[in-house]
Amino acid sequence: MTATEQALKRARLGDDTGCVCMPSAGKLLLRYTSSNLGTRQAMKALLHGLNPWQLSATDQGKIQVALVEVLNNIVKHAYSNQGSGIIEITCQPFPGHLGFEVTDTGIPLPAHCLTNDHLPAVDIQASLPEGGFGWFLIRQLSYDISHERRKGKNHLNLKIRLEDPSAQLA
Amino acid sequence: MALSSKYHGKVLIVTAHMAHIDAAVAIQFKDEIRAEIDDHAQHVILNLAEVQFIDSSGLGAIVASMKQLKGNRKLDLAGLTPTVAKVFQLTRMDTVFKIHTSVDEAMSNDGN
């Protein structure tokens, strides 16, 4: 199968939600219209696109948990569940880590999301939190997290360390 | 979405037949769990063996389900797959729920 055929096969994976995962210059690019099912499809397409890097199941789980929380926040907060905005993901593999940039044109990300490091209290059963875990999970599973607002776009950058030493990266 | 439940002695086992408990299904999941657990169930075990992925909204739905059980009624979990277990561990929810390796293990230790 040629590189183009492989790219088209990957792209077709996300046809139903308009999610396209295209390998380009050592990067994977995904673009989809904001929705919860779109996020699920985007993760499927991303993990499929990462197949050549033979990531361990542990690393794949880590990527999935961190990225889904980032994407959920965009669907829910940046686009206020309107379902009309475009979300773009760029994934660049490096030896030992993956670099991600996620962009959207929704409302600006509040600054405290990147700095607030506490876990909601889980000691009192009657008042257990049912939310507030999203950014905590993102910060636990990734590093070098930064956010920039440029020309009406949120640019969120983060890195995810690959813990499996057997993963062969290009 | 698919949940099924059956009694083993006095323990109600609710099994989630889905690969994802995420933002796309969290609200529906919470409603269906509530419908599945009858008022007489004192001890409920939620079997997550088929669930490959959970996000923070799915976690919130399970926490909400537990909080609905008042008094001495309890909700345990069983059969967490690796990524699901990781989410419970990172959020320290593994200290809040009793987590069984599997339903079989839970039943053999319970004496029910």
pLDDT digits (tens, 9 = 90+) for A93-141: 999 999 999 999 999 998 888 876 677 776 666 677 787 899 999 999 9
Q: Where are the domains of chain B?
A: 3-110
Over residues A11-43, the pLDDT tens digits come to: 444 444 556 667 677 899 999 999 999 999 999
Between B70 and A29, the higher pLDDT residue = A29
Between B80 and B38, the higher pLDDT residue = B80
Question: Could you tell me the pLDDT band of residue A5, with boundaries at 50, 70 and 90?
Answer: low
Judge: B91–A125 Cβ closer than 8 Å, yes or no: no
Q: Which of B57, B67, B87 sits opposite A72 (nearest CB)?
A: B57
Comparing alpha-carbon positions, the chain B residue that sits nearest to A128 is: B63
* Site from B1, B27, B55 to mutate, A interface, most A CB atoms within 10 angstroms: B55
Judge: B82–A61 Cβ closer than 8 Å, yes or no: yes
Question: Could you tell me the pLDDT band of residue A4, with boundaries at 50, 70 and 90?
Answer: very low
Q: Would an 8 Å CB–CB cutoff place B34 in contact with chain A?
A: no
Provide the terminal-to-terminal Cα distance of chain A, rounded to the nearest Å: 19
Q: Is A90 helix (H, G, I), strand (E, B) or coil?
A: strand
CA atoms within 13 A on the CB side of B2: 5
Average pLDDT over chain A, rounded to whole?
Answer: 84
Q: Which of A40, A137, A141 sits opposite B22 (nearest CB)?
A: A40
Which residues of chain B lie closer than 8 angstroms to A164, CB-CB? none
| B3-110 CATH fold | Transcription Regulator spoIIAA (3.30.750)
Does the domain at residues A3-161 carry the CATH identifier 1.20.1600.10? no
The shortest C-alpha distance from A4 to chain B (Å) reads 31
Between A113 and B94, the higher pLDDT residue = B94
Could you tell me which of A135, A132, A125 has the C-alpha nearest to residue B97?
A125
Over residues B13-42, the pLDDT tens digits come to: 999 999 999 999 999 999 999 999 988 899
Chain-centre distance of CA A8, in angstroms? 21
Percent pLDDT > 70 in chain B is 96
Comparing alpha-carbon positions, the chain B residue that sits nearest to A134 is: B56
Could you tell me which of B44, B63, B26, B58 has the C-alpha nearest to residue A127?
B63
Between A39 and B109, the higher pLDDT residue = A39
Q: What residues pair up with B44 in beta bridges, in sequence order? A: B12, B75
Token couple for A47: 């993990």
Query: Is the four-CA dihedral A150, A41, B45, B5 of positive or negative sign?
Result: positive
Question: What does residue B67 show for φ and ψ, rounded to 5 degrees?
Answer: -65, -20
- Exposed (0-12), middle (13-18) or buried (19+): which is A119, by Cβ within 10 Å? middle
Q: Where are the domains of chain A?
A: 3-161
Comparing alpha-carbon positions, the chain A residue that sits nearest to B82 is: A58
Q: Would an 8 Å CB–CB cutoff place B53 in contact with chain A?
A: yes
Which residues of chain A lie closer than 8 angstroms to B90, CB-CB? 136-137, 140-141
Question: What does residue A65 show for φ and ψ, rounded to 5 degrees?
Answer: -65, -50
Could you tell me which of A94, A88, A87 has the C-alpha nearest to residue A160?
A94
The shortest C-alpha distance from B110 to chain A (Å) reads 22
Please work out, in degrees rounded to the nearest 5, the angle formed at the alpha carbon of residue B24 by the alpha carbons of A37 and A121.
135
Q: Would an 8 Å CB–CB cutoff place A75 in contact with chain B?
A: yes
CB contact at 8 A, A159 and A144: yes
pTM greater than 0.90 (yes/no): no
Residue with tokens 């929380």: A69
Q: Is B25 helix (H, G, I), strand (E, B) or coil?
A: coil
Could you tell me which of A100, A101, A119, A19 has the C-alpha nearest to residue A62?
A100
pLDDT at res. A20? 61
Q: Which of B56, B64, B96 sits opposite A133 (nearest CB)?
A: B56
Is the pLDDT confidence value at A59 over 80?
yes
Judge: B24–A57 Cβ closer than 8 Å, yes or no: no
pLDDT at res. A6? 55
Residue with tokens 């599997």: B102
CB contact at 8 A, A43 and A67: yes
